[in-house]
Structure 1
Amino acid sequence: MDIKNHKKKIVEQFSKQASGYTAITSHSDALDKLISLSSASKSDSVLDIACGSGIVSCEFAKYTKHVTGIDMTQGMLDEARKLQTKLNLANVTWQIGDVESLPYKDNSFSIVISRFGFHHFLNPFKVLSEMKRVCKPEGKVLVVDVSLPDTKIKKYNEMEKNRDYSHVTALSLTEFSNLFEKVGFKCLNTDFYSMQIGLKEQLKASFPKDANALKSMIIADLGVNDLGINVSKLNDEYFLHYPVHIFSAKN
């Protein structure tokens, strides 16, 4: 895949999604779990890569010395600044940049985190290597993303590539474990939570190639779960339950 064209797709897609992204309530799920797993404290300096609309960055800013959020989409960073202002946080810095080549010195941050970004990366090995490089010795690196068993990946990717044309691939649990090992982390810890989003809410916030096909695909998966998102139905409304895994390792 052409790198320049892919980056253009990401910026286009998330410029459209920017205003509605923070409004999806489930995007704020389990933030307390991330704070706890990272052991965040007032002595920590945090880097949030592919920070989007700043939900994770702003949460960490409440508990740490300083947070830097980096993203390649200006529209998302504009939303992040709005959230920062709303929460009256002074200890956050935003930066436009490429996460495959982070503009920071080695050992710059004590916590380096990425949430919901890895399925957009053409070279996840390079990104995780960069996260490790800028993390201080004994610091924490956390990656949070939807991750499924190998048997569910193909169908899930088919759904997501329709919903979001900047989607590359979801990494399976096996692939994430292998990735951390390949980058050089010795001990990987994992945690899990389920992120529920109503189908109507998801469609409203998305810009799919074929909305009708996407909707039909999700509804048809009720009671089947080929997609790996445990589609449920309550009072004529369908819900998607994304399996989100938290991978954390000490540098």
Structure 2
Amino acid sequence: MDIKKDVQQQFGKNAASYVSSPIHKDGKDLLQMVQMAKLNGLEHLLDIATGGGHTANAFAPLVKKITAVDLTTEMLVAAENFIGKNGHRNVEFVQGDAEKLPFEDESFDIVTCRIAPHHFPNVDLFIKEVQRVLKPKGQFLLDDNVVPENKEFDQFYNTIEKMRDYSHFRAWKKSEWIQKLEDSSLEIYEWHRFEKTFHFESWCANMKLSEPEKEDLNKYILEASQKIKDKFRLVIEKEKVFSFVGEAIILKAIRR
């Protein structure tokens, strides 16, 4: 089964969890994304991998029109229900692949993508597509989990994410994102690093992990080196992982 089928299967069965997930729903990063955007109210915005629809919902009152695209039908249904209940009528929903967007060149003033690219098997194709569909001087707002520059920390975080969620492909380093975007003629305008506290139980519950799967993940994390435990500020209670701290970036780039 390829990674995109994995994504459809995983998010299809967990669509409702993502709409109500605190990290997706309540994150301060969403407010930061909105504040970083330069808006006049006339924009057509594309939200790639809209998931539960939180980004599209946040921007809906501020722009003229939003196109929310996602690979998974169930996520689009959940997002449409969520956004509709909030009274927004300027959002259309389209099924599509982030690496092969079903839109014409230079169609959008703004492109957003939040907490999703770590699922994309070819992030370079995704960036190429963002660059293609953006109008000249258009804004790209990216928000995703990243890994530390250190190889050992990188491997640890990507391993536990893959154990928790088989549709996880790779969280990239901050330096990799900057390199990839600048290679695609997307000029970095502003970026922020922020930390995210993951509570083990809810983190696993989002993916509906079985008890044996949770035990294996708990065991793997507990057996990590002290250097890793310190870096990720692991909190352990009674031989159980309670929480750990990861990192993410919000980045704004301009198509030149």
1:55-134 maps to which residues of 2 (within 5 A)? 55-134=54-133
C-alpha contact (below 8 Å) 1:114/1:142 kept by paired residues = yes
Cα distance in 1 for partners of 2:222, 2:40 equals 43
Cα distance in 2 for partners of 1:188, 1:149 equals 21
Name the structure 2 match of 1:240.
Answer: 244
1:6 maps onto 2:9 in alignment: no
Shift of 1:77: 0.8
C-alpha contact (below 8 Å) 1:157/1:169 kept by paired residues = yes
C-alpha contact (below 8 Å) 2:108/2:134 kept by paired residues = yes
Name the structure 1 match of 2:135.
Answer: 136
C-alpha contact (below 8 Å) 2:69/2:95 kept by paired residues = yes
Shift of 1:226: 5.3
Q: Secondary structure at the match of 1:101?
A: coil
Note the residue ranges of structure 2 that are not aligned, 5 or more in a row.
none
Name the structure 2 match of 1:154.
Answer: 155
Q: Secondary structure at the match of 2:172?
A: coil
Equivalent pairs: percent with the same residue? Answer: 27
Bigger mean CA offset, 124-133 vs 38-47 = 38-47
Q: Which letter does structure 1 place at the counterpart of 2:8?
A: V
C-alpha contact (below 8 Å) 1:41/1:65 kept by paired residues = no
Name the structure 2 match of 1:179.
Answer: 180
Change (3 A) 1:234 1:47: farther
TM-score normalised by length of structure 2: 0.88
Shift of 1:13: 0.7
Name the structure 1 match of 2:17.
Answer: 20
Cα distance in 2 for partners of 1:143, 1:158 equals 23
Q: Deviations over 1:133-153 (max 9, x none)?
A: 111111101211111222121
Cα distance in 2 for partners of 1:50, 1:79 equals 13
Q: Deviations over 1:202-247 (max 9, x none)?
A: 1111144822111233455696435964333689882232311012
Q: Number of paired residues? A: 248
Shift of 1:54: 0.5
Q: How much is the aligned-residue C-alpha RMSD, in angstroms? A: 2.3
1:206-225 maps to which residues of 2 (within 5 A)? 206-208=207-209, 210-219=213-222, 224-225=227-228
Note the residue ranges of structure 1 that are not aligned, 5 or more in a row.
none
Q: Which letter does structure 2 place at the counterpart of 1:244?
A: A
Cα distance in 1 for partners of 2:139, 2:91 equals 19
Name the structure 2 match of 1:48.
Answer: 47
Q: Which letter does structure 2 place at the counterpart of 1:243?
A: E
C-alpha contact (below 8 Å) 2:222/2:241 kept by paired residues = no
Q: Which letter does structure 2 place at the counterpart of 1:200?
A: E
C-alpha contact (below 8 Å) 2:53/2:79 kept by paired residues = yes
Q: Deviations over 1:42-93 (max 9, x none)?
A: 1211101111111111111121111111001111111101111220100101
